[in-house]
């Protein structure tokens, strides 16, 4: 499923008529891929005593699909939360707060090419959504950390927040 999602995001896979999949289709694809990943990799690793760090989880589905939904974002958020109700809840979600401009610069340095959600208006909406993520995920432990600066600076701030919350 991950391969299919990557093809959609990179524009290598489009639906008949040349359009991108709807937010509903994307939410279903991401939820199925996430559940498969939890069952096949995360749960066995945790059972063996491991610690899992993930750079994406259901918060990203809430953000990306609700921002993509042009009908009723509130209803989309509720549906996506229900769709992901069986995934393991993270002990802590850390949101790295950067401006859309900094995020754009970092994406361009990766050299991956333009993806489905890279539009500057979408990225601006996403930045706002993530700053207010806790309101959309009641009961989850969420903290926002300044993601600007060097890798070492961001690492130090993330580690300090992780240590403060989970120590």
Using CA atoms, how far apart are residues 27 and 160, in angstroms rounded to an integer? Answer: 33
Q: What is the mean pLDDT of residues 121-142?
A: 88
Domain ranges of the chain: 2-166
pLDDT of residue 116: 54
Q: What is the mean pLDDT of residues 122-148?
A: 90
Residues 17-40: pLDDT tens digits?
Answer: 666 677 788 888 888 888 989 999
Fold of 2-166: Rossmann fold (3.40.50)
Tell me the Ramachandran region of residue 18: left when phi exceeds 0, alpha when psi lies from -120 to 50, beta otherwise.
left
Residues 63-119: pLDDT tens digits?
Answer: 988 887 777 888 889 999 999 999 999 999 999 998 878 877 877 777 665 555 556
pLDDT of residue 10: 47
Tell me the Ramachandran region of residue 21: left when phi exceeds 0, alpha when psi lies from -120 to 50, beta otherwise.
beta
What percent of the chain shows pLDDT beyond 70? Answer: 83
Is residue 140 very low, low, confident or very high in pLDDT (cuts 50, 70, 90)? Answer: very high
Of 11, 5, 18, give the one whose Cα is nearest residue 118.
11
Residue with tokens 């993330």: 158
Q: What angle, 0 to 180 degrees and rounded to 10, lies between the N-to-C axes of helices 73-83 and 23-37?
A: 30
Using CA atoms, how far apart are residues 159 and 68, in angstroms rounded to an integer? Answer: 32
Using CA atoms, how far apart are residues 79 and 148, in angstroms rounded to an integer? Answer: 32
Question: Are the C-beta atoms of 123 and 103 separated by less than 8 Å?
Answer: yes
Q: What is the mean pLDDT of residues 138-150?
A: 93
pLDDT of residue 127: 85
């Amino acid at each position: 499923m991950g391969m299919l999602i990557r093809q959609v995001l990179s524009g290598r896979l489009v639906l008949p008529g040349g359009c991108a999949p709807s937010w509903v289709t994307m939410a279903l694809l991401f939820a199925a891929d996430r559940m498969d990943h939890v069952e096949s990799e995360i749960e066995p690793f945790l059972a063996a005593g491991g610690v899992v760090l993930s750079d994406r989880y259901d918060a990203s589905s809430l953000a990306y699909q609700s921002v993509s939904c042009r009908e009723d974002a509130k209803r989309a958020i509720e549906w996506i939360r229900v769709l992901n109700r069986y995934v393991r809840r993270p002990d802590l979600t850390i949101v790295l707060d950067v401006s859309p401009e900094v995020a754009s610069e970092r994406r361009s340095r990766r050299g991956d090419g333009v993806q489905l959600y890279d539009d500057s208006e979408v990225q601006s909406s996403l930045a706002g959504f993530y700053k207010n993520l806790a309101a959309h995920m009641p009961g989850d432990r969420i903290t926002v950390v300044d993601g600007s600066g060097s890798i070492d600076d961001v690492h130090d701030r993330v580690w300090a927040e992780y240590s403060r919350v989970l120590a």
